[in-house]
Amino acid sequence: MENKEDIHTDLVIIGTGMAGMAAAVFAANRGLSGVVVGGAGAFEYASGLLDLWGLTSPETGLCKDPWQGIARIPKYFPSHPFLKIAESDIQAAFDELTQGLTQSGLVYGGLPRENSAIMTAFGTAKPTYRFPLTMANNVTALAEKKPLLLLDFQGLREFRAKFVQQVLKSTWEEINIGAVDFPQMSRRSELFTPLMAQAMEAEQVQDKLLAAIKPLIRDEHFLGMPAILGINRSENILNRLEDGLGIKIFEIPTSPISVPGIRLKETFKKMLANTSVTQMPDQRVLLASHSPGQGFVLETGTPSSTHTTRIQAKTCILATGRFLAKGLAGDRNGVTETVFNLPVAQPMSRENWHGTTYFDPRGHAINLAGLSTDENFRPLGRGNTPVHGNLYAAGSILAGQDWMRNRSGSGISIASAFQAMGHITSNQSKTSA
């Protein structure tokens, strides 16, 4: 027998990735009643870094000043979402979100107007605008190139200190390598960073790791290790290890499943607990409809359960992502939007999706596909007018941007959610006045 539940709310946010969770936090900060619904999200695939803009231009490559890169957007991406947002609002969006994360126990740092370079597990330098505190010494070490000890763990495939050393040795004079067994997991044939991070929250494990690392340290100034310093209280674990070893320690982001990404996801959950926004994780939108008079009606649930929830909302933010997150779907006939079947800006034919050169610095046309919107991020339909006065879109589903190539995924998600929320709250104020 089917079990149904009804929810009436001001706002429904579809999507639990960066854009959806940022929108939920902004809504909670403004006291809006809302529901955020979606699948598991993609935080496990995220580095935990908050990128704003990392590409000066397709020709010149990575940039130190993200605002300089953004100033050049009209030349290369005339329909980019950033062109709808004032620079001050982009900065305000980052400030509000990172302040909230910090207050919830996940501290983020960065320079006022510049990107910082983070050492990756591939030995490369990744530009990012805001980074977790556990990676602050990563930035310093990469800039100063003082003697470094890189730590390997037996059985961990996600990180190879020797590989990082080989990539960096031409510019970094002294990089030494040490290897240890991870406490209480020496019998495992393979290790995984999320399990290691959970174990690191126990002081007994921290003490055993301290004892294993201490004999490896000689005259190094920094100690770099894969990101395993706990899911919660990572800064406290970092400080305890530094005090015990007498060396500056930093984390290096690894490939998925990403511990810093999981930290971000868990912190968002904490930020929304006991607020005006209800979280409905791991719920899919099964049916969706909208009308000018009645707003939005969604039916959510899971394919394996008979329990469904009917959500009625006055306003909706669509933050469902692109192809990987299934916000967009592509077939031989083109690209479609999967919740409301909204019009998608895309190449005229499938033959035009990709260029002839795989690594074309200009990218590929399919990576600019998405929803065209007005200046308030309301999706446009026929006649270039909003499909619905209270329907908004945020994040990577937006057209005109290639977030992966431009290192701007978090920036687009955070800023577009902020801009949409500004218009929503303004409309609500006018209605209640």
How many Å apart are CA 317 and CA 38, to the nearest integer? 12
How many Å apart are CA 278 and CA 272, to the nearest integer? 8
And the tokens for 219?
């005259």
And the tokens for 397?
């589903």
Structure confidence at residue 2 (pLDDT): 60
pLDDT tens sequence across 77-132? 899 999 999 999 999 999 999 999 999 999 999 998 999 999 999 999 999 999 99
Question: Phi first, then psi: what are they for 286, rounded to 5°?
Answer: -90, -40
Distances (CA, A) of 387 to 20, 60, 375, 393: 20, 39, 14, 11
How many Å apart are CA 64 and CA 54, to the nearest integer? 7
Q: Residue 70: what residue type?
A: I
Structural domains of the chain in order of their starting residue, each with its CATH number? 3-103+262-432 (3.50.50.60), 121-252 (3.40.50.1860)
Structure confidence at residue 187 (pLDDT): 72
How many Å apart are CA 406 and CA 115, to the nearest integer? 13
And the tokens for 299?
């039916």
CA 241 to chain CA mean position, Å: 27
Structure confidence at residue 233 (pLDDT): 94
- The stretches in the chain having pLDDT less than 50 are 1
Tell me the pTM. 0.94
pLDDT tens sequence across 220-244? 999 999 999 999 999 999 999 999 9
Structure confidence at residue 368 (pLDDT): 85
